[in-house]
Amino acid sequence: MIVRTLKDCENSDRSVSTETWKSVRLSLADDNMGYSFHITTIYAGSETPIWYKNHLETVYCMSGNGEVETVSDGKVYPIEPGTVYILDQHDNHLLRGGSEDMQLACVFNPPLNGREVHDADGAYQLNETPLQDA
Ligand code: 9YT
């Protein structure tokens, strides 16, 4: 069994920050679970274009508020604690933080390897180097 704490992972290279979000990667590919599991904070008032062409992602809101817009049809879905959205179609989308930061639990298939950040299209590539300590 593998046991980690959010606090320990926040203070390690498992924590990845950008201008609009922070991701703490509690479980990555080298745990050999077939998925990775992250706690993500989306900053209030931010907008992030995302298009996971190489991954499927499920996102569950634990706290805060925001919205997600699917680019293909312009539909906007409010996000609040208890909301889950499931990107089963590799959906191109815009993720927005609301009046306060959102805390999300995120699962990726295939699993992320390490410190991936979005490329110009809002995707993660598949060939990121694994963490040294993981
Ligand atoms: C919801 C989402 O995809 N936010 C971007 C960060 C991502 N969850 C990650 O790398 O943990």
Q: What is the pTM of this model?
A: 0.94
* Domain count within the chain: 1
Using DSSP's 3-state secondary structure scheme, residue 6 falls into helix
- Residue 115 located in a structural domain: no
Mutational test site, ligand 1, from 15, 27, 38, 40, max ligand atoms within 8 Å of CB = 40
Q: What is the pLDDT of residues 2-31, one digit of tens each?
A: 999 999 999 999 999 999 999 999 999 999
Q: What is the rounded CA–CA span in Å between residue 105 and residue 82?
A: 11
CA angle centred on 82, ends 62 and 42, rounded to 5°: 40
Q: Residue 35: give the domain boundaries.
A: 14-109
Pocket of ligand 1 (CB under 6 A): 21, 23, 38, 40, 50, 57, 59, 95, 104, 106
Instruction: Measure 2 CA to ligand 1 centroid, in angstroms.
Output: 22
- Residue 40 located in a structural domain: yes
- Residue 114 located in a structural domain: no
User: What CATH number corresponds to the domain at position 83?
Assistant: 2.60.120.10
- Residue 123 located in a structural domain: no
Q: What is the pLDDT of residues 62-120, one digit of tens each?
A: 999 999 999 999 999 999 999 999 999 999 999 999 999 999 999 999 999 988 889 98
- Residue 34 located in a structural domain: yes
